[in-house]
Structure formats: structure tokens, C-alpha cells
Amino acid sequence: MKTIISLVLTVIVALLAYTLYLNIKEPIAFQAEKNARKEKVVTKLKDIRTAQEVYRLVTGTFAPNFDTLSQVIKSDSIKIVTIFGDKDDVNSTEEFREVITYMSAMDSLKNLSSMNLDSLRYVPFTSGETFNIAADTMTYQSTLVNIVEVGTRWKNFMGKYASPKYSKYDNSYDPNKLLKFGDMNAPNLAGNWER
């Protein structure tokens, strides 16, 4: 009888130890996966933001969709004005002149080697899910300004951790929250990961 009780207690201790192990392992695995996935998505959002800034240099507005963004960057140029002399300086001996040159929008992207414009729209860790993109104009402090917002919900790229139950391991985690840059209510290109 003593042996049976000892065996039952050993099994119970083993089950409790395994349960404790799982309770410790899950939050660590969640945080590691969350950070790795967030980093990849943020890198893609930064590339999109850079492409949008180049698009704005070319057109004066933000791209309302990825097809237009890609097409303009691949085929258009940025106007560069170089000014020589100072037209307001009466003592200047140098003649005032402007020299206009053009640079390919594609060449202006500094990290072009890692940026593929055709796949820019796709959210990492998904099966072809695309980022939401919106661009418009608004009046801000009596001035018409261009605005843009690009992002995706956490649940779209978190895989098996897309459930709200994982917020018990991270109070700031909400799978329905957007990971984005820009704002449709203010002229702002900051990413919400920067706050």
C-alpha cells in the first residue's frame, strides 16, 4: 500500500512540475514570438514610409494604394534645384542662377537593395495579407496638408498568438490594435511603435 501511495504521489508531483513548466514556458515563448514578429512588421512599415516619402517628393501627395506607389517610384524622377549666388545680396559678384536636375525616384531609396517594391504591400507571417493604406488631404491649422496611414492589426501576423487570451502575459497586447505609421486625423508620419 505504501508503494502505491508513493507511486501516486510521484505521478502527481510530476504532473504538477510539468504544469508549472508549461505555465512558465508559454509567456516566455509568447513574448519572444511577439517581439520577433513585431520587428519584421515594423521593418516593412518603415520601408513603406520611406517609399511614401519619396512618392511625396515626386508628386506632392501620398500614394493612395500600393500599385500607384510602386509605379511612380519605378518610373518617375525627383526634381532637384541647385541655387548658385544670392539674389538678395547686392554685394555678391556671383550671378544668381538655378540649375534643375532630375534623379530617378528609384535611385533615391537608400536601402533599395533590401526593398522590393512589388512585395512591399504584403504583411510578414501571413498568407498574402496586405497592409491597409489610406491617403487624403485635410485642413490643419488653416493649411491643406497631405495625410497617410498604413498599418495592420496584430492578429493578422501573430499566428497562433492572435487570441486575446495572451494579453494576460502583456497588458499592452491587444490583437485588434493597429500597428501603423501615420494618422488620418493629423499630419503625422510617426509609427505607433515609437511611442
Strands of the sheet containing 178-182, edge to edge, are: 132-140, 143-153, 178-182
Contact 125, 40 (CB under 8 A): yes
Cα separation, 75 vs 71, in Å, equals 6
Question: What is the average pLDDT across 70-92?
Answer: 80
pLDDT, tens only, 35-66? 999 999 999 999 999 999 999 989 999 999 99
Residue 4's pLDDT is 85
Q: Is the pLDDT of residue 18 over 70?
A: yes
Query: SS3 of 173, please?
Result: coil
pLDDT tens track for 109-135: 765 556 788 899 999 999 999 999 999
pLDDT at 98: 82
**What's the whole-model pTM score?**
0.81
Q: What is the pLDDT of residue 1?
A: 77
Placement of cell 485635410 in the chain: 138
Q: How many CB atoms lie within 10 A of CB 49?
A: 17
160 pLDDT band (50/70/90 cuts)?
very high
pLDDT at 91 over 60: yes
